[in-house]
Amino acid sequence: MRNKLNNLKTLVNKNVFVPTGTSDLLIDASTKIIKSNKTILDLGCGNGIVGISISKIKKIKKKVYFSDISNSACKNTKQNCEKFKINYEIKKGKIFNPWKNYKFDYIVSDVAAIADGVAKVSPWYQNCTNNAGIDGTKNVIKFLNEARFYLNKKGIILFPVISLSNEKKIISVLKKKFDNIKLIKTKTWPLPKSMYKNINLLKKLKSKKIICFENKYGILTFKTDIYHAQKKN
């Protein structure tokens, strides 16, 4: 899998999430914010592409931290870290469970976050699990509720909000828990054609305000927003 920004060719193993445009957007946004020589956690690392790319682009010498709920993802990240000679620590586990007593300057998280009904009919989650709940917010909200305990003073989180989840619910938790909230990147994508046959399901979720997509001249589109937020004092 080639990352468009720095041409990094990472390996993607069976049962591991195949990086998407959202991964690239998160990398692009993060590298504009993250300062070198800081501690970074890539939470929901998949094959490690986000943390590894940031580390390479920003020339980070410090250890980069990775975690994922999936054993295959952790093994794949290890393989890629060794391939790209990254100084790494990888732990398997749910959200912050593996990181008791750790603190980071930046937490970059692309943890699974689309509505389960959408994930089931999408090409992205055929070999790995989404398990983000009916409205796609379960993992992100847990992440937002706990992140401040794992951040250093003035620590920053960077994460995507995809319109195939209940964005409003996520943003309302973000506003309660964090300061200095900024929408730093946004991109609209065509919905994969293979999902058009499930249009009735998608319309039903949209009518319930669980997801949002647009129909522009017969092309269905959804979007990714990348958010920056800072730990409250």
Residues binding ligand SAM: number (CB under 6 A): 20
Contact indicator for 148, 129 with CB cutoff of 8 Å: no
Which residue's CB is nearer to ligand SAM, number 136 or number 218?
136
69 part of the interface to ligand SAM, by CB under 6 A = yes
Place of tokens 């269905």: 220
68 binds ligand SAM (CB under 6 A): yes
Q: Is residue 70 involved in binding ligand SAM (CB under 6 A)?
A: yes
CA dihedral 106, 181, 160, 192 (to 10 degrees): -160
Q: DSSP for 70-112, please give it.
A: -HHHHHHHHHHHHHTT--EEEEESSTTGGGTT--EEEEEE---
In whole angstroms, what is the distance from residue 210 CA to residue 212 CA? Answer: 7
Q: x/- contact string, 129-168, with ligand SAM (CB under 6 A)?
A: --x-------x-----------------------------
> Per rule CB under 6 A, is residue 50 in the interface with ligand SAM?
yes
**Binding positions for ligand SAM, rule: CB under 6 A:** 17, 19, 23, 44-46, 49-50, 68-70, 73, 94-95, 110-112, 128, 131, 139
